[in-house]
Amino acid sequence: MISISELNIRHAEPSDYLSIIAVINNWFGGRNVADRLHRLFFTHFRDTSFVIEKDGFLIGFLVGFLSQTYPNEAYIHFVGVHPDYRKQNIGRTLYNLFFDEVKKHNRNTIRCIASPVNKLSIAFHLAMGFEIEPGDAEVDGVQVFRNYDGRGGDRVCFIKNLHIREYMEAMGMV
């Protein structure tokens, strides 16, 4: 298990974009996912996006943002962890960083999606306390929204409610 002291944890920067899209398809088992991740996320959502490096080597990232439409919500757009560093709390660390940032903005609802073929992601989100939202279809026993991301883009939609009141009390904000 990696010690947190071995890691460089920071906000994402526009300069991270090319190095991330260079590896992301490989990290996702050869699935073409790089086209879902755009430079604009690394430019406009830096405060809510994170990168983790070990010895200068990228091992994980999270791209998220505060909803502009729903003032109580935030959205995790994309997360990747190098396959050699999975099951070492890298994903959990990234999510907790995002949760902490979201709480600072008094947001308490987090949403994200996963492809129904990504069983590891579904299991991870459930372990992190997310719930699967009821969809309009079922794939392999999991609720999905058909064509959520266009034709054939079925997605599992997750929601997590943070305990914002307890956080605000702990931070002396109430």
3-state secondary structure the chain: CCCHHHEEEEECCHHHHHHHHHHHHHHCCCCCCHHHCCHHHHHHCHHHCEEEEECCEEEEEEEEEECCCCCCEEEEEEEEECHHHCCCCHHHHHHHHHHHHHHHCCCCEEEEEECCCCHHHHHHHHHCCCEECCCCEEECCEEEECCCCCCCCCEEEEEEECCHHHHHHHCCCC
The burial of 154, by beta-carbon neighbours within 10 Å (0-12 exposed, 13-18 middle, 19 or more buried), is given as buried
Q: Which architecture, in CATH terms, is 108-174?
A: 3-Layer(aba) Sandwich (3.40)
Same fold, 1-102 and 108-174: yes
Alpha-carbon span 167 to 174, nearest angstrom: 9
Tens-binned pLDDT, residue by residue, of the chain (174 aa): 788 888 999 999 999 999 999 999 999 999 899 999 999 999 999 999 999 999 999 999 999 999 999 999 999 999 999 999 999 999 999 999 999 999 999 999 999 999 999 999 999 999 999 999 999 999 999 999 999 999 989 999 999 999 756 555 656 665
Q: Give dist(CA 157, CA 133) in Å, integer.
A: 6
Strand partners, 80: 61
pLDDT for position 15: 97
- pTM of the shown model: 0.90
pLDDT attached to residue 129: 94
Give the class (CATH, top level) of 1-102.
Answer: alpha beta
147 Cβ partners below 8 Å, 6+ apart?
Answer: 153, 154
Domain locations in the chain?
1-102, 108-174
Q: What is the pLDDT of residue 172?
A: 64
**Residue-level pLDDT at 174:** 59
Closest to 163 measured CA to CA, from 155, 154, 171: 171
Residue 173 has what pLDDT?
63
